[in-house]
Chain A
Amino acid sequence: MSDNVEEIQKSIKKYLFIGGLLILFSAITVWLSYVELPTHGQNILLGMIVATFKAALVALIFMHLNHERSVIYKILAFTVVLAIVLFALFIFSHEDPLVFSGFYTPSDQL
């Protein structure tokens, strides 16, 4: 947490710059979504990479996660792990969970 006056004065310029950068990257996201890549999946991947970058800027700069106390990183470490598990769940919607996890091999694949 930046507490002294000079540091805060310095960070004001940084906030404005990051705000501009976020708007620029939003425009880039819109433009990229109209580019015809070989598959639409690549459009989605690219869009999500840009969105993650923007989210990281917000979290690190605006939410001051670039210099925070360790207890907050500990809380967030749990959140990140659990959120990743949530996003990975969809694998079970098009992979047979038994085959996918290696518990069972269908007879025609033996």
Chain B
Amino acid sequence: MDIPYTVHARPDTGLYNAKIGIWLFLASEVMLFGGLFSAYIFLRVGADYPWPVHDLDVTLGFVNTVVLIASSVTVVMAWAMLKLRKFGLYRLNMAITVICAGVFMFNKSLEYKAKFAHYAVKLTDGTLLTGHLPHGYQVKFEGITELNLTVPLKKSAVFADPVGYVLPFVEGGAAKFKTEDGKEITLDESTFTALSAEAVKKATEAKKSQATIKLVATSPLKVAAKPSEIFGYTDSTLTFRDGTVATGKLADDKMTLEVDGVDARGVAQSEKSLAFDHRYLGDAWQKAFVENRDHHFEEFAKNYPTRDKNRSATLQKEALFFKLHSATPPAAGEGHGDKHGAEAHAPAEGHGDAHAHHPTVVLEKKDITFFSNFTPKLNTYYAIYFTLTGLHGLHVVAGALVLAYFLLFDGKRLRQDPEHLANRVEVGGLFWHFVDLVWIFLFPLLYLL
């Protein structure tokens, strides 16, 4: 059966059917993105932190804007060329459109990748440090001699599973233990099943609510895990996510951070930020920070004498979110935190260290309240940023796939029924313009304003 009105207009609507279809679909798409833009407004109005402005890579965002606008022009040109039966130019414009989509997604992937590797660390006084973790971040325990496992007899959320939740973090993998009755075992799936069955039997006979298994390591163990991979720890005990408690000694929970920014907007007296403690960045950086801050405040007072410095979000950011561009603080009177000054102070010789242009601090755990890479976990801005750009990116991929299909696999229609293909391209193009239209709002809202 032929689908009616694919080429010629239906008399009552005056349109071919697919066009009504795509506009109905686009209307629903407007509501989909509208809901998320509405969420953006809610999150921004309710944000209890300075909303990031110009924090994303504006150059990359602008390049992507130009790429998307260019592809919008080429897709409408492809349609026009098809209408004029200039098939070569149709194919060229279509190919450029699909390539533009690829460039857009490539740039997006660069942007996402940088966010995943970049961290923000909140200190107890409200200071936010940004930077990179050259070695990742792990809590390390050593001298672990004892594991205490708990197997509840009733169904429970926490259930001993040392093979899944303990062994992956033990240095050297498989470990040998002695059980309470002196048997020597290598902990794995089958030995643990046998062990827990025995313990459950004993506990049932003794009418206890849970079975406990005590394992003594034949040689002291070392454990290293990310904070998210364990449940919690003290100086002498480490609790895994299956409820297993290890007794040992905390070896290291300090965080090595290559600092590229000090955001003191959350600190009442910014010059006294914990970041400038003698253990961390120290007096010289503090001086550079104060100099940069006061410079911005003075400039602002000079340029806008009637305005309140506390009410300008951009001034607060420029003055109090201090970017570090060199490994050592700039000399007095030079480089007000801008790139020009920083280049002069970049180390002349690299010391074989790719990150030599940032100072490294070793943060103590007690000074850290929160840390995250630049992902939705960090704050609501990055949550809505990833949701909106992620959904938009999916639309770019979907649109590009449809247009690539017309270009590569619709050659028969191109020869036999170009008018029908022109309608298909027009409909695909309408979707593509909508994707561009969404980006026209996303770019200023997320990158600029």
Contact = CB atoms under 8 A, between A and B. Distances in A.
Nearest to B70: A19
Contact of B23 (A3, A15, A18, A75): A75
Mostly, the B contact residues are helix
B46 A93 contact: yes
B38 A5 contact: no
A62 B68 CA distance: 13
Contact of A90 (B38, B303, B437, B441): B38
A5 B84 contact: yes
Contacts of A47: 444-445, 448-449
B38 A30 contact: no
12 contacts: A19-B70, A22-B440, A23-B69, A43-B449, A47-B449, A50-B444, A55-B437, A62-B73, A62-B433, A63-B434, A69-B13, A90-B38
A29 B436 contact: no
Given A3-B83, A71-B15, A83-B30, 12 more contacts: A11-B80, A15-B76, A22-B440, A26-B443, A29-B444, A29-B448, A33-B53, A55-B440, A55-B441, A62-B76, A69-B13, A76-B27
Nearest to A29: B444
Interface residues of B, number: 54
Nearest to B29: A79
A99 interface: no
B41 to A, nearest CB: 4
A104 interface: no
B12 to A, nearest CB: 9
B444 A69 contact: no
Nearest to B77: A15
A47 B148 CA distance: 60
Contact of B45 (A58, A76, A94): A94
B72 A19 contact: yes
Interface residues of A, number: 51
A71 B14 CA distance: 9
A106 interface: no
Interface stretch (B137-145, B159-167, B207-215, B308-316): B308-316
Nearest to B438: A55
B278 interface: no
B103 to A, nearest CB: 15
Contacts of A94: 45-46
A44 interface: yes
B183 interface: no
Contacts of B38: 86-87, 89-90
A110 interface: no
A107 interface: no
A18 B76 CA distance: 11
Interface in B9-26: 13-15, 19-20, 23-24
Contacts of B34: 82-83, 86-87
A69 B14 contact: yes
A18 B84 CA distance: 20
B80 A15 contact: yes
Most buried by A among B15, B434, B440: B440
Contacts of B15: 1, 69, 71-72
B440 A8 contact: no
Nearest to A27: B62
B430 A63 contact: yes
B153 interface: no
A11 to B, nearest CB: 7
Contacts of B311: 39
A87 B31 CA distance: 11
B409 interface: no
A44 B449 contact: yes
B181 to A, nearest CB: 63
A93 B42 contact: yes
B45 A90 contact: yes
Interface string B348-370: 00000000000000000000000
A37 to B, nearest CB: 10
Contacts of A11: 80
B304 to A, nearest CB: 7
Given A44-B449, A47-B448, A71-B13, A93 B45 contact: yes
B80 A12 contact: yes
B67 to A, nearest CB: 10
Given A22-B69, A23-B66, A55-B441, A8 B449 contact: no
B45 to A, nearest CB: 5
B54 interface: yes
B35 interface: yes
B65 interface: yes
B314 A36 contact: yes
Contacts of B58: 30
Contacts of A86: 31, 34-35, 37-38
